[in-house]
Amino acid sequence: MIDSHTHLASTPGEDADVVARAQDAGVTKLLTVGTNVEDARVALDAAAAFGGTVFAAVGWHPNEAAGFTDADAERLLALALEPGCRAVGETGLDYYRDTAPRTDQVRAFAAQIEIARKVDKPLVIHTRAAEDDTIAILARDAADLTVILHCFSMPDRLDECLAHGWHVSYAGNVTYPKAQALAATAVRAPLDRILVETDAPYLTPQAVRKERNQSAYVVHTARFIAEHRGLAYEELEAAVEANAAALLRW
């Protein structure tokens, strides 16, 4: 199994221990995600330290986009060109927390779309309470890019997202009892468009919900999806691993 989205820098414990526990659980590769330039540098350093197991995504989270400048975009582009970087993001829009002006969020989003195009790497999307604007911007400006909808949480927009050719990545919230509509999309989504993730240390799967999330726990989310699709775990595992390998080139 793989973890297509985690935050090693925020996960409790030493990186080596977190990675070792993931490997013990059967997780062979994970993508650790930066949320600003400093965090992206940490993610790239982790990728260098755990070559072949840890890879990085470099991005500027919308919650941190206040004051985003062209100089910030240039710094992020330089990081995105490094070989340990396999994706750009997470980027997008967050109107739920609204910690950054929406104009700055849009500016940072647009810049990262262009960075993804320049470096020819997938674009990892965060969206919360901003689905209409996020989808509209992606449809207009990123039609030629590979798009991964991280922590997919738009059950009523699944068909629209699939029609655009985007990929959906499911986190532990798909396992929550109140998320039945979301769980139904994990059954309907084509097997070749699905990824699984932890978004650790957040969104711990229901089976271990009292714990802080970590990459080892992605297997609980994968097992949940496999059971709901009526698949053997190994079949889902093979599909998800193939999808991630094709998208992230690892």
- Three-state secondary-structure class, residue 143: coil
Q: Pick the closest to residue 218 from 33, 39, 62, 22 (CA basis).
A: 22
Please give the domain boundaries of the chain with CATH numbers for all domains.
2-248 (3.20.20.140)
* 244 contacts 196 by C-beta, under 8 angstroms: no
pLDDT digits (tens, 9 = 90+) for 29-65: 999 999 999 999 999 999 999 999 999 999 999 999 9
Three-point CA angle 166, 171, 174, nearest 5°: 100
- Residue 209: pLDDT above 90? yes
Question: Kind and range of the H or E element at 93?
Answer: strand 85-94
Q: Which residue is associated with the tokens 């097997």?
A: 191
pLDDT digits (tens, 9 = 90+) for 74-131: 999 999 999 999 999 999 999 998 799 999 999 999 999 999 999 999 999 999 999 9
- Residue 196: pLDDT above 90? yes
* Mean pLDDT rounded to a whole number for the chain: 98
- Could you tell me which residues are beta bridge partners of residue 126? 92
At 98 the pLDDT is 78
Kindly state the DSSP code that residue 129 receives in the 8-state scheme: S
d(CA 41, CA 58): 8
Encode burial over 163-175: b for 16+ CB neighbours within 10 A, e otherwise. Answer: eeebbbbbbbbbb
